[in-house]
Amino acid sequence: MSPFGFIRRNKKSPATGEELVLSVEGMHCAGCGLLIDDELEELPGVRSSRTDVRGGRTVVRLDDGVAAMDAAVLGAAVRSAGDYTARLAD
């Protein structure tokens, strides 16, 4: 069980790659977070995504050997999940 109170399925093996933190706006419930995580985890080079709806943040862990990912690509994936906006967190 995740710290957010729902069970997450792991699509890939445990994470060890680089992390990127996104600030996400427009989320209202745990379902929003799941939709965003599912979209981000479909991107090549993304090992996992964990969204904290209350905190408005998503932690994206990249596959081993992937040092960076274009913020526009991440933002497009978040937008494709619904009426959400995302940017790299400060």
pLDDT tens-digit series, residues 12-41:
445 567 999 999 999 999 999 999 999 999
pLDDT in the model for residue 47: 95
pLDDT tier for residue 4 given thresholds of 50, 70 and 90: very low
pLDDT in the model for residue 68: 85
Identify the burial level of 9 via C-beta atoms within 10 angstroms of its C-beta, where 0-12 means exposed, 13-18 middle and 19 or more buried.
Answer: exposed
What six digits make up the tokens of 43?
Answer: 């991107």
State the chain's mean pLDDT as an integer.
Answer: 86
pLDDT in the model for residue 16: 63
Q: What is the pTM of this model?
A: 0.81
CB atoms within 10 A of CB 10: 10
Question: What gap in Å lies between CA 28 and CA 57, rounded to an integer?
Answer: 13
